[in-house]
Chains A and B, each alone.
Chain A
Amino acid sequence: MKEGTPHSGGVPGFFTGLSMPIATHVADPGNDRSRIDARNDALFRGILRVCALLVLAALLGAALSTLWGGREVLFGDGWHFLASSQWNPVENRYGAWAPIYGTLVTSLIAIVIAVPLSFGIALCLTEVAPLWLRTPVATAIELLAAIPSIIYGMWGLFVFVPFMAAHVDPMLDSTLGRLPFVGALFRGPPLGLGLLTAGIVLAIMIVPFISSVMREVFQTVPARLKESAYALGSTTWEVVWDIVLPYTRQAVIGGIFLGLGRALGETMAVTFVLGNAYDLSASLLMPGTSISSSIANEFNEAVGLHRSALIALGFLLFVVTFVVLLIARRMLRSLKRKEGNA
């Protein structure tokens, strides 16, 4: 028990760098064992630090090298690159607005669809479904996460696109497309390809990520909290909304970020179903392009300024992801503050 005490005391202190005084306080100065422990602790701390710094270094390295690779366009063309939607390799004039727009819109559609769906799946698996069903379904969802994106892309192209073209697009065009303002979003020829299709395929791809994180954290909610609420006469919905979700909110949002990150950066599946056109169109049924699919499409044959523009697009993906996460974090903080006041 003697060596257990300094160890367990050292763990919380370890992160704040205060483990040493605790360790020396408990340890017997003549005891070799505690000196070895202290040394191992220091070593362990060093290794952990290197691991954490490695991530930072990799991120910084990637960001800086894309910034460097794209410098000709980013610093040469400046605002034109950010503001213009023209992408003309013949005359070497590049604007990133169309890919940025496509990336944001497809990811937004994906999140809007995937979050409620994942929430439902996770709830069903933790609160509603019979016990014998939970593990098989959870395993199936995790298997879905392992499917390579090119498979989703091919499924999208050969199965889902014809379905959208034959059924969904014409239906949207003739119903929602007739509405005054919102209608502009749903008007267009029944191509089957486009922003909406890409968003839906992305949603299917990120559902496994979000729902398995949600399921894991929903399971961590102490049974006595839920049981107390049930005992007070709450419905399942009230328990979920007022007990489970507030208890796990931080981790749930982390899971959504994970899915969002994947949606923003997804390449192959999007390339197959997005239509790859540098168009800015209000309609979700029209083709567009995304940052990552532009890079995947054109990098092979790009030279000179064209290549620089594509690398600069890669840098912009960093920036876009960073800004999106920042906004999401801000929203989370204001949500917390509101709750504190209430």
Chain B
Amino acid sequence: MTQFRRIAFALGVAAAGFSAFATAADVTGAGSSFVYPVLSKWSATFAEKTGNHVNYQSIGSGGGIAQIKAGTVDFGASDKPLDAQELGKFGLGQFPSVIGGIVPAYNIDGVESGKLVLDGDALAGIFLGKITNWNDAAIAKLNPGLKLPDAKITVVHRSDGSGTSFNFTNYLSKVSADWKAKVGEGTAVEWPTGIGGKGNEGVSAYVKQIKNSIGYVEYAYALKNNIGYALMTNAAGKTIKPGNAAFQAAAATADWAHAADFNLIMTNAPGAEAWPITATTWVIMYKQPKNAANSKVVFDFFKWSLEHGQAQALELDYVPLPEALVKQIEAYWQTQFKH
């Protein structure tokens, strides 16, 4: 009998729990897997503070855009911004949420992490399959004093469609006319050479296993997996070490003021200290939401996370947006969205 009572009590508690869910607002978002870890962390803290739950499903940027267009979620998240025409057609607005950096990751015997320096041309040459050996003159001239082996380069790219690939190929298209003409940019492209790994973890695993290989991964993955990452020469001609300050510098010096609806890719940012392959994820919402109450919760959530979520973002190796950009986003909310 006591066991029965215990079960009945448990059921009662569960029912009470469900009814608590029902009274608080329950908003949903879907899209980019890049922001999933930080969004779920923010969402948990936000729920503790306000009782409102933000459910985020990491289904990929393409899926997120499709879901918000269909109106099945309260917000979408995409690694690739929508253009003004598409936003206008559906009555959508978008803003950046959090920053991450993408680094060239390599595995060369005798070359420690952070010792190899590359620039846009060399990186494009390697991924085009034009620079095939590590001791090629184009790499050697960037690395005087570094002894590079006479070994064939194995290129590792993403095999799945991803925002990481999009930002990486966008950068290569900006710095190399050859890349732009032959390959172009996209979440998936026709890679001229190399092998494909699934996800950041797949690329990390291949780079770690294959000698003399080079790939590209999110900075956090390179750190966690102890893979060597390269320094890059940026648009200002300065050699930069990847890190939070460099990613933030890219976000701060990108020309947001002249980008309507924040439709700007941060790669190859002009700042002297800017890391050249810096990325963000855009949150996409309706300007005139059907469900105003839910939309308000989403705004509260992102306002709270942009202003108070930095520490948690940093813990997960994301970089919070610079303060000036947060101000611009809040102004954009005021003018563009109906609360």
Q: Which residues of A contact B (CB under 8 A)?
A: 86-91, 157-158, 161-162, 165, 189, 191-193, 271-272, 275-278, 287, 289, 293, 296-298, 300-303, 306
Contact = CB atoms under 8 A, between A and B. Distances in A.
A301 B62 contact: yes
A170 to B, nearest CB: 12
Given A90-B183, A90-B190, A158-B205, A298 B210 contact: no
Contacts of B160: 297-298, 300-301
B253 interface: no
B190 A192 contact: no
A302 B59 CA distance: 11
B289 interface: no
Contacts of B190: 86-91, 278
Contact of B195 (A89, A162, A275, A298): A275
Given A191-B210, A271-B198, A298-B160, A89 B186 contact: yes
10 contacts: A88-B190, A90-B183, A158-B205, A165-B209, A275-B195, A277-B194, A297-B196, A301-B60, A301-B160, A306-B161
A191 B196 CA distance: 12
A265 B195 CA distance: 21
A158 B205 CA distance: 8
Contacts of A293: 159
Nearest to A194: B195
B210 A300 contact: no
A91 B196 contact: no
A88 B188 CA distance: 8
Given A88-B190, A90-B189, A303-B66, A297 B154 contact: no
Given A157-B205, A161-B209, 10 more contacts: A87-B190, A91-B190, A189-B152, A191-B210, A287-B196, A297-B160, A298-B188, A300-B59, A301-B160, A301-B187
Contacts of B209: 157, 161-162, 165, 192
A158 B183 CA distance: 31
A89 to B, nearest CB: 4
A198 to B, nearest CB: 12
A90 B189 CA distance: 6
B191 A301 contact: no
Contacts of A165: 209-210
A111 to B, nearest CB: 25
Interface residues of B, number: 32
Contacts of A303: 62, 65-66
B101 interface: no
A271 B159 CA distance: 9
A272 B205 CA distance: 10
B63 interface: yes
B177 to A, nearest CB: 15
B94 interface: no
A300 B30 CA distance: 12
A306 B188 contact: yes
Contact of A276 (B186, B195, B210): B195
Given A161-B209, A271-B198, A300-B60, A189 B66 contact: no
B165 to A, nearest CB: 9
Interface in B172-214: 183-191, 194-198, 202, 205-206, 209-210
Contacts of B107: none
Contacts of A191: 154, 195, 210
Contacts of B61: 301
Interface string B71-104: 0000000000000000000000000000000000
A301 B66 contact: no
Given A271-B198, A278-B190, A300-B60, A90 B159 contact: no
A66 to B, nearest CB: 19
A272 B206 CA distance: 10
B233 interface: no
A261 B9 CA distance: 51
B162 interface: yes
A311 to B, nearest CB: 14
Contacts of B206: 193
Contacts of B62: 300-303
Contacts of A90: 183-186, 189-190
